[in-house]
């Protein structure tokens, strides 16, 4: 195991770990779960400056602040994405992958 220490943030085998008590930050997966959207929607919002975060190499850390709590993903886009992945063809593709 290789650790890259960046103050209180370190990476381990493509996973990001944070000292949440000090930074009040989330991984993109945690932020997506809280907001009920995809990880890609969180990454897009970070890239566009709609929510605050910091990029560490390839990984993002989302700041859990007022901007994050006020932001909400586009409901129509999230619903259409879920509909596409719930079709029988998509389910079959996921099983074979």
Question: pLDDT tens-digit profile of 61-70?
Answer: 898 888 998 9
Strands, sheet with 53-56, edge to edge from the N-terminal-most edge strand:
25-27, 59-63, 53-56
Q: What is the pLDDT of residue 56?
A: 82
Dihedral over alpha carbons 24, 3, 14, 9 (to 10 degrees)? 10
| Distance linking the first and last C-alpha atoms of the chain | 28
7-62 confidence digits (pLDDT tens) = 455 555 666 665 544 557 888 999 999 998 889 999 999 999 999 998 888 889 89
Domain ranges of the chain: 4-96
Collapsing DSSP to helix, strand or coil, 17 comes out as strand
């Amino acid at each position: 195991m290789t650790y890259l220490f960046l103050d209180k943030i370190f990476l381990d085998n493509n996973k990001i770990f944070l000292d949440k008590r000090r930074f009040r930050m989330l991984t993109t997966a945690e932020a997506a779960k809280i907001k009920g959207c995809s990880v890609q929607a969180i990454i897009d919002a970070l890239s566009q400056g709609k929510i605050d975060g910091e990029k560490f190499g390839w990984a993002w850390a989302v700041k859990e602040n007022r901007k994050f709590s006020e932001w909400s993903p586009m409901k129509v886009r999230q619903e259409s994405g879920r509909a596409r992945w719930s079709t029988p063809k998509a389910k079959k593709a996921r099983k074979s992958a």
